[in-house]
Structure 1
Amino acid sequence: MNDPVIRKVVDYIEDTMVEGGRPAATPLRMGACAAVIVNPWAGQGYVEDLQPQIFAHAKALGDVLVPRLVDQMGGPDKIEAFGKCAVTGTAGEVEHAAGLIHTLHFGNVFRIAAGGNSFLPFTNKRAGAGTALTLPLTHKDEAKKGTRSHFLTLEFSIPDAPAADEIVVVLGAASGGRPHARIGDRFSDMKLMGVDQAGRPLSV
């Protein structure tokens, strides 16, 4: 089994102060931490059992990325939305990217550190260096998952990653919802439409 090899870690931060020509009541911070790693299955052809490397790499990635991202966001209380993504280079499989982020050994560490209890929205794909790293973000609280103000997308790129034999693994977070959010949410829609969560008419 290969030991995790992290080539570099990249931080990304953006603070939105003005949206739609109007100052935000509270600036929105969106941040991400990305690890560029050697694909542990590179050059091995089709590997049936991915679990040993998933276990070894997911823990190491969580140890590196989670505290770093929580710190740059200002602590768990400053995180309201989160997400994740992974991109494997062109010599790997999409399954390699998916394997490293769809495991409790990785996602649960971030969920707990961020003080959340909801699933982490995600993207996983295969692409070349400089590709867009796209993280869908939603509210960290399961009870507020339908809060559309927190339906966000964070996107950035790393010019030299992933190389063909690499994987980029990313965690992202936001300090709040979109500035000036005003489209309601699914719960207000259901009330107006007179339906329950399954779309069935409410009894009169």
Structure 2
Amino acid sequence: MAHDDIDIRKVITKTEILWREGGRPLEDRTRIAVAAAVLRNPWAGQGFVEDLAPKIHEIAPVLGQILTDVLVEQMDGAPIEAYGKAATVGLSGELEHASALIHTLRFGNILRDRVGGSSFLPFTNRRASADTVTSIPMVHIKDSGIRSHYLTAELHVSDAPRDDELLVAIAGASAGRPFARIGDRYQDMAILGVDQRKRP
């Protein structure tokens, strides 16, 4: 399937480079990037569609490839240690439409494989009007229990999503929070005497 076959209105990028935190300079500056696409909701104007799978299979892998390529480019050679995803559907769409294109391995596995990850991609999916903020939570690419990499990227697009559109985004970070010092869930489990084999 060619890229032109997806009705994308625009692709948006956002990059942050953290220089200081808590009044202290970072020795290695942290890069956080977002890649998002605004596209026409493929189920818009069709009423209730029972089987979403055909469009998911058609669009999700191509969209995942486009966004992954753009995200890696925005990282400018920096490694991706944390990642996440999000989708916002316009007011005429269903919440299920926001979920459809991101909750499939055909979408998420492209980024996961590209960066050598094994963790699930945390997510948000919501319905909202244009000019709202889309939040993209992140976890460590290999271990979702490492709290230092619990991060959130935000994207604000003044004209998206329109009522018949979707905004789909992924995010990556080159490191965890600067000067992270609250420990991780495994330390808590050890202190509480929780069997980590039963509660991974």
Q: For residues 73 and 193 of structure 2, what CA distance do their matches in structure 1 show?
A: 43
Q: For residues 126 and 194 of structure 2, what CA distance do their matches in structure 1 show?
A: 36
Matched with 1:107 is 108
Matched with 1:184 is 183
Q: Partner amino acid for 1:148? A: R
How is 1:3-152 mapped onto 2 (pairs within 5 angstroms)?
3-75=5-77, 78-141=79-142, 144-152=143-151
Paired residues, number: 195
Q: Partner amino acid for 2:102? A: I
8 A contact 1:24–1:179 mirrored in 2? yes
8 A contact 1:25–1:179 mirrored in 2? no
Q: CA deviation at 1:114?
A: 1.5
Q: For residues 136 and 165 of structure 2, what CA distance do their matches in structure 1 show?
A: 19
Stretch deviating more after TM superposition (57-66 or 86-95): 57-66
Runs of 5+ in structure 1 lacking a partner?
none
8 A contact 1:28–1:176 mirrored in 2? yes
RMSD: 1.5
Q: CA deviation at 1:199?
A: 8.0
Q: For residues 123 and 29 of structure 2, what CA distance do their matches in structure 1 show?
A: 24
Q: CA deviation at 1:198?
A: 6.9
Q: Partner amino acid for 1:100? A: L
8 A contact 2:34–2:170 mirrored in 1? yes
Runs of 5+ in structure 2 lacking a partner?
none
Q: CA deviation at 1:117?
A: 1.1
Q: For residues 114 and 125 of structure 1, what CA distance do their matches in structure 2 show?
A: 26
Taking only the aligned residue pairs, the percentage that are identical comes to 53
Q: For residues 192 and 52 of structure 2, what CA distance do their matches in structure 1 show?
A: 46
4+ residue runs over 6 A deviation: none
Q: CA deviation at 1:64?
A: 1.2
User: Structure 2-normalised TM-score?
Assistant: 0.93
